[in-house]
Amino acid sequence: MELELEGADLKAVLNRLRRAQGQISGVIRMIEEGRDCEDVVTQLAAASRALDRAGFAIIATGLQQCVTDIESGRKNGEDTDAMRARLEKLFLSLA
């Protein structure tokens, strides 16, 4: 299954990933500078949330595509249980 992000969805996901990238760079710099543990953990938590949000946005788009693929798969005789299992595994990977 190929993920097709377009337009505003693509821009939003890329912005979140870039934000997380910047936050992780900040965490690395903070550790190298010997900054306060609480500040480092706060920044790390922010990076984690940014990655989670990007992941959930990708999952939401993927879910829409998978539903369409499942409906299409029924017409083509593909195994819909296998498609659902893949989608479930993908969704749970972010839980």
Are the CB atoms for 7 and 57 separated by under 8 Å? no
For residue 7, give the DSSP letter. H
Residue 73 Rama label (left phi>0; alpha psi -120 to 50; beta): alpha
Q: Which CATH class is domain 7-92?
A: mainly alpha
Per the listing, tokens 């965490």 go with: 27
pTM greater than 0.75 (yes/no): no
pLDDT at 22 over 90: yes
Specify the length of the chain in residues.
95
Instruction: Report d(CA 32, CA 26) in Å as an integer.
Output: 10
Residue-wise pLDDT tens digits, 33-69: 999 999 999 999 999 999 988 888 887 777 777 677 6
